[in-house]
A and B are shown apart, each in its own frame.
Chain A
Amino acid sequence: MSVRRLSPDQPASFTFRPDVLETAHWWCAKYPTERKQSAIIPLLWLVQKQEGWVSEPAIRALADMLEMPVIRVLEVATFYTMFHLAPVGKHHFQLCGTTPCVLRGADDLKKVCRKRIGEKFAVTADGLFSWEEVECLGACVNAPVVAIDDLYHEDLSPDDLEKVIDALARGEAITPGSARGRQTSAPDGGARTLTDPTLYDGSLATPLTLPNLPETAP
């Protein structure tokens, strides 16, 4: 992590789109009116979903909306790294750089990002891509992991990542999850244990003889 600052380039103003505003009100309604500040995190998230990042006018707008001091909104926005304080690309990559992922090749993924996208937080000229390094994403079993937009892409080799970038550049949809086709976090290449069908097809079962059971008709 590093010191997080508001972007020097800020838009003149911020307003919620009408449909987003409706969702915002839905969030606010979850809290008692005198505690409406509690909705600050979901609302910041809505701002980011709408604009791609959290701008200074948006921070002020939320402070007004939730009747809280603007410094408190800034505190929250700077505390959570998930809120971008400067514009990011249409597709933002959060590349995990913590030990298990590094052991499984995250450094090579970083090289790919550098090559294809540029330095951390730089946005490509076409506005499509940006990336950053984050701490453990909590999916170490499938290391190395890159979260692209909202979804995890796991077991990535540098080639896989390049392919993902190519697909996104062509505007195609990409499939999240393991790039090697693992089922969630099941072992690579399919199950290694409990593979013998006799374990569950009932063939090993010995018929029980229970005393005093009524004779069933054959």
Chain B
Amino acid sequence: MTKILIDDVEIDVPPDYSLLQACEAAGAEIPRFCYHERLSVAGNCRMCLVEVKGAPKPVASCAQQVKDQRPGPNGEPPVVLTKSALVKKAREGVMEFLLINHPLDCPICDQGGECDLQDQSVAYGRPGARFDENKRAVEEKQMGPLVKTVMTRCIQCTRCVRFVTEVAGVPEIGATGRGEDMEITTYLEKSLTSELSANVIDLCPVGALTSKPYAFNARPWELTKTESVDVMDGLGSAIRIDARGDEVLRVLPRVNEEINEEWISDKTRFAVDGLKRQRLDRPYVRRDGKLTAVSWDEALIATAQTLRAGPDRIGAMAGDLACVESMKATLDLMGALGVKNLDGRPTGAKLGGGPRQSWLFNSTLMGVEEADVLLLIGVNPRTEAAVFNARIRKMWLQGALRIGVIGPRADLRYPYEYLGAGPQSIAALSGDFLDALKAAKRPMIVLGEGALARADGAAVLRAAGRLAASVGIVKEGWNGWNVLHGAAARVGALDLGFVPGDGGLDAAGMVAAADDGKLDTLFLLGVDDAPLPGKGRTTVVYIGSHGDAGAHRADIILPGAAYAEKNATWVNTEGRVQHGRRAAYPKGDAREDWSILRALSAVAGKTLPYDSLPALRAKLIADHPTFGHMDYAPGAADSAGFDPATLGAEGSLGAEPFASAVAAFHLTNPIARASLTMAECARAAASTAHIAAE
């Protein structure tokens, strides 16, 4: 620790702190444009100038470290001034220079109201301009369907360049030319290919990079801001949903160090226009082969009739976006009817039952920063958990992580050791990498749905578990056994025990039974991305928000709320229980899902014992105490006695290589598939993949 005097406040900070960090620690505010905590230091905007006693001129505080400051003549701590006349003048000067070439087009700029340049020029600039010449103008650049550019506004902070190079791992943005003619561009104006590309919109301190889908839609002060969680993947990233009236206009990241730092994927950010399209806004019942709009009463009565079939002839599945409350209500209703055909893993991952650790990401997402060796099995984190992939990349960049892959050989944005394509390679793993895993202090094995949702999934689980046990994956204060789920609902379903009861059918079994005419009623709680029964005798009841595969097959549709339209709970892949909050109301006649089930239970004569969300949650916590522990990832807490070698089942490992559970990143769920923006991104991604393949 080093002592330093900042505006007469003496503080003790680590010697490798920058002056800027030290000033913040001392409570002094330092304006900045180019500096960003999570990016390398560029030191090119000069907004952060401070006065250091003994230095001949103001110094850029972001680029100097505390340990490099000279002490006073008698060894007194170095003195930094942030409020002196010199600093004030320096800031005014920098502001004036920045504004020389910055257009004064705030009234037509989307950044207006949330612009660093606006705010800081008010706070630190001088009134009025002295510059009489023409300002420069920069030609527009293309960066793809998400990022809109108005390059005349760029102040060359290079945050965007550093972000795509360092965090996203796709060095696609650069600064060409120099001096006044420096321009930010992609090579030949190609689209950005990163799944995280739109974070440059947040990073850009001015209105040079703004959101294309949201262009000219609203001003920040018109929006109602709701803090919520994301459901586009299994991470549960912290987001803020901005809505005007009843329309969700955009999604922005919130900082959550433990999950998403401050990034979100492009899908999280831009799939929201899917909330406006393909919506199920009233109940439907199929009559004479055609879906006909009906009233809620009719729909509920029709549904209740289907529940008269014997419990063996009823089944229920929960899909990828289902919230815990709706799954709990479904389970309670099915339980009251005695139904055992239940499955919350419609794609057939061979998980569930057994210890909770077996399906969690036990190292925690942040744990990868402590890990030294990482083995990815049947998972492509870039498409299945893009934000987490950036964290893996961060650790790889620091040289702290050795990465091996068994499964699809994809471009992960960092190099890795390729150890095999299919299940055989797990059992056959040997040599250097195995030794490294064994020797590692913090080994990590990550399984994806691609490894588990297959016929030999249970055997794969056993093989991976054996491997894990043999390398000592569970240690004091560490559990390196991880499952990376791609679906927001999955861990919640497994925690609730949404798996077949004794003698019950699993998802594949239910579909087969339905096709054989052995099932009369099948409840689909937002199941779209899984095999569905063909048209037949089975009455399919679909509860969900979007007209997608499930609703297409359904005979009765009960319209529910999408994630932004309900107060609901999701559990992320780490087992972190989080509340999402309502930012808008469900569309048309749609209702919150749990209340549909509650109403149905009353019509069916099996009234559920709760009639409000708090009552439902109280019951939920009473039945499953893990749900009472909010925003908490158990990590290694309860891992003593957890033996991965006993997971899954003995069986023969197939020869078929693992495939990632996510084929097209932009189209993984009904909301994303309804989104025009995502469709455009998917097209762009397909065409770049096509070019790359040639």
A3 contacts B171, C-beta separation under 8 Å: no
Name the contact of B177 in the complex, choosing from A69, A70, A79 (C-beta under 8 A): A79
Residues on B with beta carbons closer than 8 Å to the beta carbon of A2: 181
A6 CA / B139 CA spacing, docked (Å):
14
Name the contact of B187 in the complex, choosing from A3, A4, A70, A79 (C-beta under 8 A): A70
Question: With an 8 A cutoff between CB atoms, is B179 at the interface?
Answer: yes
Q: How many residues of B contact A (CB 8 A)?
A: 18
Chain A 60-88 residues near chain B, CB threshold 8 A: 69-72, 74-75, 78-79
Question: With an 8 A cutoff between CB atoms, is B348 at the interface?
Answer: no
A72 contacts B183, C-beta separation under 8 Å: no
Residues on A with beta carbons closer than 8 Å to the beta carbon of B188: 6, 56
Please indicate which of the listed interface residues A1, A2, A71, A75 has the most CB atoms of chain B within 10 Å of its own CB: A71
A71 contacts B174, C-beta separation under 8 Å: yes
B177 contacts A72, C-beta separation under 8 Å: no
Name the contact of A3 in the complex, choosing from B165, B173, B175, B181 (C-beta under 8 A): B181
A3 contacts B183, C-beta separation under 8 Å: yes
A75 contacts B183, C-beta separation under 8 Å: no
18 contacts between A and B (CB under 8 A): A1-B178, A1-B180, A2-B181, A3-B177, A3-B181, A4-B177, A6-B188, A56-B188, A69-B172, A71-B186, A72-B171, A74-B174, A75-B174, A75-B176, A78-B176, A78-B177, A79-B177, A79-B178
A56 CA / B190 CA spacing, docked (Å):
14
A210–chain B nearest beta-carbon distance, Å: 53
A8 CA / B17 CA spacing, docked (Å):
48
Q: How many residues of A contact B (CB 8 A)?
A: 14
B179 contacts A74, C-beta separation under 8 Å: no
Chain B 136-166 residues near chain A, CB threshold 8 A: 139, 165
A165 CA / B188 CA spacing, docked (Å):
37
A74 contacts B181, C-beta separation under 8 Å: no
A120 CA / B172 CA spacing, docked (Å):
32
Residues on B with beta carbons closer than 8 Å to the beta carbon of A1: 178-181
> C-beta contact mask, A78-113 vs B, less than 8 Å → 1, else 0?
110000000000000000000000000000000000
Question: B residues touching A (Cβ–Cβ < 8 Å)?
Answer: 139, 165, 171-181, 183, 185-188
A132–chain B nearest beta-carbon distance, Å: 15
Residue of A nearest to B171 (CB): A69
Interface of B is mostly: mixed
Residues on A with beta carbons closer than 8 Å to the beta carbon of B181: 1-4
A212–chain B nearest beta-carbon distance, Å: 56
Residue of A nearest to B177 (CB): A78
Residues on B with beta carbons closer than 8 Å to the beta carbon of A6: 188
Residues on B with beta carbons closer than 8 Å to the beta carbon of A69: 165, 171-172, 174, 187
B137–chain A nearest beta-carbon distance, Å: 10
A133 CA / B633 CA spacing, docked (Å):
65
Residues on A with beta carbons closer than 8 Å to the beta carbon of B172: 69, 71
Residue of B nearest to A56 (CB): B188
A92–chain B nearest beta-carbon distance, Å: 20
A56 CA / B181 CA spacing, docked (Å):
20
B158–chain A nearest beta-carbon distance, Å: 11
A94 CA / B536 CA spacing, docked (Å):
81
Residues on B with beta carbons closer than 8 Å to the beta carbon of A3: 139, 177, 181, 183
B548–chain A nearest beta-carbon distance, Å: 38
Name the contact of A74 in the complex, choosing from B139, B165, B176, B180 (C-beta under 8 A): B176
A40–chain B nearest beta-carbon distance, Å: 13
| A-B contact sample (18 more), CB < 8 A, given A1-B178, A6-B188 | A3-B181, A4-B176, A56-B188, A69-B165, A69-B172, A69-B174, A70-B187, A71-B171, A71-B174, A71-B186, A71-B187, A72-B174, A74-B176, A74-B187, A75-B174, A78-B177, A79-B176, A79-B177
Residue of A nearest to B176 (CB): A78
Contacts A4-B181, A70-B187 given; does A75 touch B171 at CB 8 Å: no
A166 CA / B694 CA spacing, docked (Å):
50
Residue of A nearest to B165 (CB): A69
B385–chain A nearest beta-carbon distance, Å: 25
A6 CA / B185 CA spacing, docked (Å):
13
Residues on B with beta carbons closer than 8 Å to the beta carbon of A72: 171, 174
A71 CA / B186 CA spacing, docked (Å):
7
B673–chain A nearest beta-carbon distance, Å: 32
Residue of B nearest to A80 (CB): B178
A71 contacts B177, C-beta separation under 8 Å: no
